[in-house]
Amino acid sequence: MAANGTLTTLVSFNRVNGAWPRAGLVQGTDGSFYGTSFGGGANGIGTAFQVAGNGALNTLISFGTTNGAYPQGRLAQGKDGSFYGTTFSGGANDSGTVFKMTTGGTPTTLHSFTGLGDGANPRADLVQGNDGNFYGTTYLGSANGYGTVFQITPSGTFTPLVSFNGVNGANPAGGLVQGSDGNFYGTTEQG
């Protein structure tokens, strides 16, 4: 959309190239836009894609259950140039994944959630902290079943940081933001 409100449709999703994008786009350092769709693709359970400014769409990943399914959060481009994101389900335990994707679309599953102490079903964006690690939330899972806050390194070392118990909050659906004081801030949907 131009600043004056003139709207131009760049891509129409058709279930083959993706369907139901839920998260916003992120502009990569190469000038292209990157995003995910919740459905569609070769397996019907979501895609990661690249869109050029002229609307040329390149489907980079068609998610399959082993590498994740149904991505909901926005991608984050890391300082290394790769993109990082989460899927709501799929992975080794069907509880979601954290994945890394090159700009060419090569995916790597960094973590498959178990639904236990590490959490399950992430819905929100990842954020890269000042320390170079990524931080995120899971909507469910943990010792109490109310979700978690976690840290993951770009190489995949995973550390659960907070287990929500209902008193300190429950079911974080949104992402975190790092404040100027270095702390992370976020919300929970319930609790």
The residues, ordered by sequence, that sit 6+ positions from 57 with a Cβ below 8 Å of its Cβ are: 11, 17, 49, 50, 51
177: amino acid identity, one letter? V
Q: Angle CA(36)–CA(74)–CA(183) in degrees, nearest 5?
A: 160
For residue range 13-62, what is the model confidence (pLDDT) as tens digits? 998 999 999 999 999 999 999 999 999 999 999 999 999 988 899 999 99
Give rounded-to-5 percent helix, strand, coil for the chain: 0, 35, 65
The residues, ordered by sequence, that sit 6+ positions from 66 with a Cβ below 8 Å of its Cβ are: 90, 91, 92, 109
For residue range 85-113, what is the model confidence (pLDDT) as tens digits? 999 999 999 999 999 999 989 999 999 99
Specify the pTM.
0.94
